[in-house]
Homo-oligomer: A and B are copies of this chain.
Amino acid sequence: MFRPQIKVLDCTVRDGGLINQWQFSDDFVRKVFIALTLAGVDYMEIGYKSSEKYFSRSENGSWKFCSEDDLKRIVGDMDNKMKLSAMADIGRIDYGDIPKKSDSVLDMIRVACYVKEVDKAISLAHHCMEKGYEATINLMAVSKVIEKDLDDALEDLSKSDVPVIYLVDSFGAMYSEQINFLAKKYFAALPGKGLGIHAHNNQQLAFANTIEGIVAGINHLDATIYGMGRGAGNCPLELLLSFLKNPKFDIRPVIEIIQEIFIPMKAKVEWGYHIPYMITGILNEHPRSGMKAMSAEKLPDLRQFYESLRDDTQLD
């Protein structure tokens, strides 16, 4: 698949940081930055933009905050063709804590929100755009909302100035059918806007669903190196770059950093396909119970884990 409009965003540090509270060394982040630059990746999402009044630096690494000092430690001396992005969550950042683009090395701020918060997200994204950033909105957990609410949110988004909206499979619950259905819905409801996709790997479908999104016309693609990410992780960047035939991409720097850093790291920190994450995925549930099961000293009885989570979803 070669489509010049396609943009790949790597969110290894941002999404992967959910595993370890963003306690990455500067050396690690810098090596990721260099590998992504060499690989021709369009955007690196280097962390969350959060206010220090809501989170402490004693509990969270630098990439929970992405202050200009943090960012400049990594990229201050580099000739940066690759764009830098940070994610902002509703209620975790104050407008005043976002510098003007001209004072920042960030290029883009992606606002993540639930469907019910879409108006707050639009307001924050507009604020970022007024300060000079590119902005997107990532609509999370849409596999759990009724269609009427989703349609209302899409209508609000269609009236906004935000140019790119992401289809997000937060729980790794979707099959190609759902991706195709939602991509068509988003395109129809959001004329003139670009779409992105962010998939999770609970059912080993993050890469396949990203391909499904590409086939449906989605051009903004999220991935992480070696699929690193919370729980089952994300669409593996190396697979995506290999699938994309755009001449600007080179898989080799990604293979190198996987061998140097990510294979040893995966031996210590478990992400990827595991039955507890598969179970939350097939039941369309938040991965938190799966993460609890995986972090226990001994894996709980998995049949019972499945039965109880399934019972939780049967309320009537």
Contact = CB atoms under 8 A, between A and B. Distances in A.
A299 B263 contact: yes
Given A176-B176, A252-B306, A259-B302, A207 B207 contact: no
Interface residues of A, number: 38
A256 B175 contact: no
Contacts of A175: 211, 243
Interface stretch (A71-79, A128-136, A234-242): A234-242
Nearest to A259: B302
A273 interface: yes
A258 interface: yes
Contact of A204 (B236, B251, B263, B307): B236
Nearest to A258: B275
B303 A275 contact: no
Contact of A303 (B176, B201, B259): B259
Interface in A156-211: 175-177, 201, 203-209, 211
Given A259-B275, A275-B255, A302-B256, A204 B203 contact: no
Nearest to A306: B255
Given A203-B207, A205-B208, A252-B307, 17 more contacts: A175-B243, A176-B212, A203-B239, A204-B207, A204-B208, A207-B208, A208-B209, A238-B278, A239-B278, A251-B306, A252-B303, A255-B302, A256-B303, A258-B302, A259-B299, A259-B302, A263-B299
